[in-house]
Structure formats: structure tokens, C-alpha cells
A and B are shown apart, each in its own frame.
Chain A
Amino acid sequence: MITFTNLTGLASIVILIAVIATLIFRLLRIPQPYLTVLIGVVTVILCIPLAMNGLPPVAYLRGIIGDLSITSVILLTVSLLKYLFDWRFFNEEKRWLLQSVIAITAVVFYPLALGMGYFDPYRLGFGNIYFLITLFVIAIAACYKRYSLLAICIALAVLAWSVGWYESTNLWNYLLDPFVAAYAIGAVIWRCGGMLLKLRRG
């Protein structure tokens, strides 16, 4: 029987594949409503267990990348809804704050969590009260300043962690993953590069 956490983990990979497929089909200039139907077909096919060992293709990808963080799932879902239905929930201009917060956190967090020094920030994710208070303050401040995406990502990650949405019992696995970190670092570098170019020209 498929457990709840296996289902949620696979769902996160399905969303990732749906976004990648959407980008590819958009490059191929496939028009709506065929695009939506095609994405639906691709995701269903990827979830059907293969005859050779009973594993669906998404399980292979899950074996390599694991379950995506809630932050990734939110960003991917927002992108998917924008591409497929042109639904825009958030002010794109304000996305940079989320990207900057993720990039800075990732640059500090990963080296420490992977063995640099004796302090392990990953340990804070097992329910450290001060870590939760810090996140609460950031979420409230983001909400007050109308940085909705940042506030929602933190709040939904904490909610998912507290109800045991994934197999992980560590809050960091809900907040951050290497893919969203790479995306955020790339976006920040791109933005900073653009600003430098503007300064030089100006």
C-alpha cells in the first residue's frame, strides 16, 4: 500500500516534471488547449508503474533528487498555473526578496550542514524553538511589508512540517532543497549582474 508520505513525495516530483514539460512544449510553440492536455497526459504516463519492476518513472527521479521542499513546490505550482492558465498570484517584482533570502540562507547553511565546523544548523530543524521564533518573525515581517510569496512559503513549510507532510521530520527539508537554492543563487547573480551592467552604462 502506498503511504501518505510516499504519495506527497511523488506529487512533488510530478509537479517538477509538469513544469519542465510545459517549458519544453512552450518552446515547441504548442498552443492552448493542447498544451494543458499534453501536460496532463505526460504526468499520467509518468505515474503509471512500469511492467519491469512495478515502479513508476517518477520514482526513478525521486530516487535521485528526493522529495522537493515546500518552497520549491509553491514556486513550481505558481509557474505552472501562470504558464497553463495565465493565473498570476504574486507580484513578480517582489520575488527578488524570496530569492535573496533563499540564496543567502543556502550559501551559509549548506557548507555548515555538510560538515564544515562543529555547528550543525540542520539540527535546528528538529523543532528548535528559537529557530521557529526566527521564522515566525520573518514571516510576519514579510506579510506586513506585502512580500506575500516569502510569507506563504515559510508558513506552508512550517504547516507541512508540523503535520508530517513528507517523510522528513526536519523543517529544513520543507524550507529548502538544493534545486531551489541553485535557482535562487542563479537569480540573485543574474540580478546583480544586470544591476552592475546598468551602473556601468549609466
Chain B
Amino acid sequence: MNRPLLIGVLILIAFGSGFLKSFRHHPGQSFQVSFHPSSVTQEPRFETDFASSKLHIETHAASLVELRDGRLRAFWFSGSREGASDVQIHSAVFDPRKNKWSAEQVVATRQDTEKSVLRYVSKLGNPVCGRAPDGNLWLFYVTVSVGGWSGSSITMKTSSDEGQTWSAARRIITTPLLNVSTLLKGTPFFYSDGTMGLPVYQEFISKFGELLHLDKTGKVIDLQRLSEGNDDGLQPVMLTKSADEAQVLMRNESDKRTRQTISVSTRDGGRNWSRPVHLSLLNPNSALSAIVLPDQRMLAVVNNQVRQGISKGRDALALMISADGGSSWKMVYRLEDQLAARNNPLDPKLYFKVVKRLARKTVSGMTLSDADTHARSAESAMCKGDDCGFEFSYPYLIQMKNGDFHLVYTWNRGFIKHISFNLAWIDHRLTK
């Protein structure tokens, strides 16, 4: 056989299998809707505590997933500081019947991840968990080999026993340039065929939001751009309103003085997305979390703070509601508010007192010595010399099947705070 003929045969075999793969490739394009209506007879309920328990370390970027038995599993990263090589992905389980968090367990470390993916890994970050079509838990987290967070890629682990044990890690390839720099923060969502969607974002050269579509085995089958590099939108949060309608809210990364939450929407099951618009909801370049209620109202947790005309900082956190698709927002409750301390920075002594009071307010019945250790932990993370600040950031809100809401967020970098409430409490707050 001569060479052109051989190459011709190779081309036919290669493209034969390529076309076969392409014909099998049909990413679903409408969404799965799963609203969890709450009982109208409920009493208003609002409870707070801490999900994390380790002291004197930095904790950040918590997320939640509901377990089959009605319990709740939280994940976050934890280590000597954000980006340090000793950062691990931690997890704990909340039992609503006992109203108690379990001890922390380590679910991923840098060392076990690099052995599984057979690549050097320098640091870990942002864990997000979802329940896969096969019923297993899929844990996604960020790994970096070189550089800062813009060098991130996504790694995945699975668990068939509700998070007790985890599989070896596997790398997900999402970009054409050295597989950098995809990160994630938003809650997973589902397409009508049961496959999972993951809101992700890029941080290398330009910043923009994307939707990653995974098949039933966790392989990437599609990646859809939501904004472009000049839109400054990142950390998308997907809000599924119906099979065809969805809205995505994004953190505003721009350097404008008054930043507002960026939004894109679809009316055709995600085939086409609108150009980004700015909502009235303020966003000081910080992560937000949101969900859609069965009556189509949107509930969001944001650092919606503005001070002297500038939206910046993460020292106040609020629960907001919108009944008109995000055009206007009303505050349900101010979850945290330490804005006053920004103009008059606290010295470590005063800061210690304030944080101790906040810790005791979070956990009813907390002993003074426990409050002391909590305050010391927060102080070590948030005080630089004589300047201390507050941080209430990276909220992650979900609604359980029984209708209850659970929220976790970074509390002064030292702990993950957990808040649970129900619809009756929201309605009660709105009538006040």
C-alpha cells in the first residue's frame, strides 16, 4: 500500500469514530426544576451556630449538600492561611434533629490529590458538592499547581457512602491553555436529562462566568460562556425558574465605585443567554448566593453594603428578597453588620471583646472560655498589627427537601457560621 492510501485509511478510521462520538453527543438543554415548598403551618424559626470547630486556623469558602437521611454535609477549606500548602478540604455533618454538628473530617489534602492526579499540586481551594445522577456525591474543588488562583483547575472526587469515604481524585479539563484557570463557587444544578451543570468562572487574563455541563459519569460534555472578559462577572450562581427559564447572578469584579450584581438570563432552556445587565442589588466584588422559592421570589445573601458612595468590604451581610425577577430587592434581615468598625478600626483588645460577644450571640449557651478561644482564633486571622477587621463572606445557601433553608459563610476567616431558618421566619420578617 502506498503512503497516501494508508493516510487516507487512517483519516477514515479516525473520523469514523469521531463522527460516531459526535452523533452520540446530545447535551440536554432544558433544566430540571425541584422546588421544595414549606409547610404554611410552621412556626418561624431562625437558629445560628458554627459548622467548623478547629481553632487557630483560617477557614473559607463553605458549601452544603443535603444527605439522603435529611442531614446536611458542609465542606470548606482550612489551613494556616488561604493558599498555604497545608490547606485541606474539611467536612462536617449537621443533624437537624439533634441540632448538632459532627466533628470535622478531612476529605482531601494536597498530597493525596497530587498522587491521584499524578501532577504536582501546590494548593487547594473552594469545594462544592452535588448529588450526581447515580445518587453518589460528587465533590469538586479547586487545585493550583503554579501561581495564584488564576492558575486553578477543577478536581473531582466521588463518594457512594454520603461522604464517609471518597474516591481517588480526578482532574477535569476545562480550558485550552494549560488547563488554567477555572474555579467554582456556585451550587450545582441539573438539566432535564438528569445530568449536572456546574457554574464556574475563569480568572486568567480576563474574568468571565461559564456553565460546565457534565455527563452521568462526570465527564465534561459542554461549556457555555455567560459573559465575556470585559463584563467583569464571576462566581456565577444559577437560579432555575422553570424548564426553560433561568437566571444567573454574578459577582461584580469591576473597579467602579458602586458595583452592582451582574445578571444574565435565558428563556429557551439555556440555548441562548442574554447580555449581562446590572441589577439594583449592590455587590462589593464579593461572592453571593441565591435560590428561587416555589412562588418564583428570589432569595439572596450578599454583602450589599455601600459606604460613602463606595460598595466595598465584606463586613456586613444581608438576606435579600426580590419578587420581580431581581429588578428590586428588599432586605429580609441583616445577618451581620460591623460597618461602623470600618471608619473607626478596632484595636486588638476591643476587637477581641466584640468578636467574643458575636461568638456568644451565634451559639446560645457558649461558655466564656469557648467564646475566648473563638475570639482568639478570629483575632489571629483578622488582625494585622493594631488593625483588626471583620469579614462575613462567601455565603452558600440551599433549601432542603423539607423546605428549611440552610446558610453557611466565612465568619472572620476563623470559622464557618451556619444559619438555619424557614419560610415562616422569612414571611414573619417581611411583615415586620
Contact = CB atoms under 8 A, between A and B. Distances in A.
Contact of B18 (A54, A115, A159, A172): A159
B15 interface: yes
Contacts of B275: 118
B7 A117 contact: no
Contacts of A122: 175-176, 223
A135 to B, nearest CB: 8
Interface string B23-38: 1010100000000000
Interface string A79-116: 00000000000000000000000000000011001111
Nearest to B21: A162
A10 B25 CA distance: 28
Given A9-B118, A53-B114, A169 B173 contact: yes
Nearest to A1: B168
B115 to A, nearest CB: 6
Contact of A146 (B4, B15, B178, B208): B4
Nearest to B225: A120
Nearest to A2: B118
A115 B223 contact: no
Contacts of B221: 126-127, 169
A116 B120 contact: no
B175 A113 contact: yes
A7 to B, nearest CB: 9
A106 B223 CA distance: 20
A199 interface: no
Nearest to B147: A64
A162 B205 contact: no
B224 interface: yes
A188 interface: no
Contacts of B4: 143-144, 146, 148
A116 B177 contact: no
Interface residue tally of chain A, by bracket?
35 or more
Contacts of A110: 176-177
B220 A169 contact: yes
B136 interface: no
Contact of A156 (B14, B20, B224): B14
A135 B19 CA distance: 11
B205 A161 contact: no
Interface in B165-204: 170-173, 175-179, 202, 204
B219 A169 contact: yes
B11 interface: yes
A25 interface: no
Contacts of A63: 114, 119-122, 145-146
B8 A143 contact: yes
Given A63-B114, A63-B120, A66-B178, A162 B17 contact: yes
Given A6-B118, A132-B15, A151 B173 contact: no
B146 A158 contact: no
A3 B49 CA distance: 42
B117 interface: yes
B178 A114 contact: no
B423 to A, nearest CB: 38
Q: With a 10 A CB-CB cut-off, give which of A10, A53, A125 has the most chain B CB atoms.
A: A53
A172 B179 CA distance: 12
Contact of B145 (A64, A118, A152): A64
Contacts of B173: 66, 166-170, 173
Q: With a 10 A CB-CB cut-off, give which of B3, B14, B21, B121 has the most chain A CB atoms.
A: B14
B40 interface: no
A162 B18 contact: yes
A151 B120 contact: no
A156 B4 CA distance: 15
Contact of B225 (A123, A126, A140): A123
A163 interface: yes
Contact of B15 (A55, A126, A158, A177): A158
B11 A140 contact: yes
A128 B122 CA distance: 35
B229 interface: yes
Contacts of B175: 113, 122
Contacts of B354: none
A108 to B, nearest CB: 12
A129 interface: yes
A113 B8 CA distance: 31
Which 5 A-B pairs rank lowest in CB-CB distance, beginning with the nearest?
A63-B120, A115-B229, A127-B25, A115-B206, A63-B145
25 contacts: A53-B115, A62-B119, A62-B120, A64-B145, A65-B178, A66-B178, A113-B176, A115-B228, A115-B229, A118-B225, A120-B223, A123-B225, A126-B221, A127-B221, A128-B22, A132-B19, A136-B11, A151-B11, A154-B14, A158-B15, A162-B14, A162-B18, A168-B179, A169-B173, A170-B223
Interface of A: 2-3, 6, 9-10, 53-56, 59-60, 62-66, 109-110, 113-118, 120, 122-123, 125-129, 132, 135-136, 139-140, 143-144, 146, 148, 151-152, 154-156, 158-159, 161-163, 166-173, 176-178
Given A110-B177, A159-B14, 8 more contacts: A59-B114, A62-B118, A66-B178, A114-B229, A120-B223, A123-B223, A173-B176, A177-B178
